[in-house]
Amino acid sequence: MAFDPTEATKKKEKFWNGGRLFNLGLSSYFAYDTYKEERAQGNTRLGALGRATLDFVMPELLGPWGYIGYELVKAAPGAIYSGVQGLSQHVRQMERVAQDQSPFRSNTFVDSQQIYTMRQAGMALAEQSKYALQQSLMGDEARFMHR
């Protein structure tokens, strides 16, 4: 089998088509962005470069659907944690609203000398009424017993 230069050129053109160049450019942009973010977070140059390299290589290794799955699995714990935090915050807010709407929630009892005296007078009146009732019952009881 002889070497055909036109066949090699066709393979090269297929390999470097527009979609492939676009993917390469997009991966390069995201890798550079990852490098900048890692450096802004205070990571070393070598650590940031390693992370950027991983971001550049992973889409090529896994393919588009595999990389999307990888990113979803990577983001799932953070999304779950964020959802639980949001739900917890919402529940606490609803409890606060329910407490604010209960009657007399904002009222406080202020005891003063006059209120204390009035309360004592009311208790004394109730006590006297109770004793008066007992006396009348005892009197009626005696009246019925001595007929």
How confident is the model at residue 49, as a pLDDT?
A: 92
∠81-86-91 over CA atoms, to 5°? 125
How confident is the model at residue 87, as a pLDDT?
A: 95
How confident is the model at residue 55, as a pLDDT?
A: 87
Specify the pTM: 0.46
How confident is the model at residue 53, as a pLDDT?
A: 92
Q: Which region, left, alpha or beta, applies to residue 111 given φ > 0 means left and ψ of -120 to 50 means alpha?
A: beta
How confident is the model at residue 3, as a pLDDT?
A: 60
How confident is the model at residue 89, as a pLDDT?
A: 95
**Distance between CA atoms of residues 17 and 63, nearest Å:** 16
CA 138 distance to own-chain centroid: 68
How confident is the model at residue 9, as a pLDDT?
A: 62
How confident is the model at residue 82, as a pLDDT?
A: 95
Could you read off the pLDDT tens digit of each residue along the chain, which spans 147 residues?
A: 566 666 656 666 666 677 778 888 888 898 999 999 999 999 899 999 999 998 888 888 888 888 889 889 989 999 999 999 999 999 999 888 877 776 666 666 666 777 778 888 888 889 888 888 887 777 776 667 766
Query: Contact, 8 vs 14, CB < 8 A?
Result: no
**Distance between CA atoms of residues 38 and 31, nearest Å:** 11
Q: How far are the Cα atoms of 60, 75, 82, 122 from residue 132, in angstroms, in the given order?
A: 98, 78, 68, 15
How confident is the model at residue 140, as a pLDDT?
A: 72
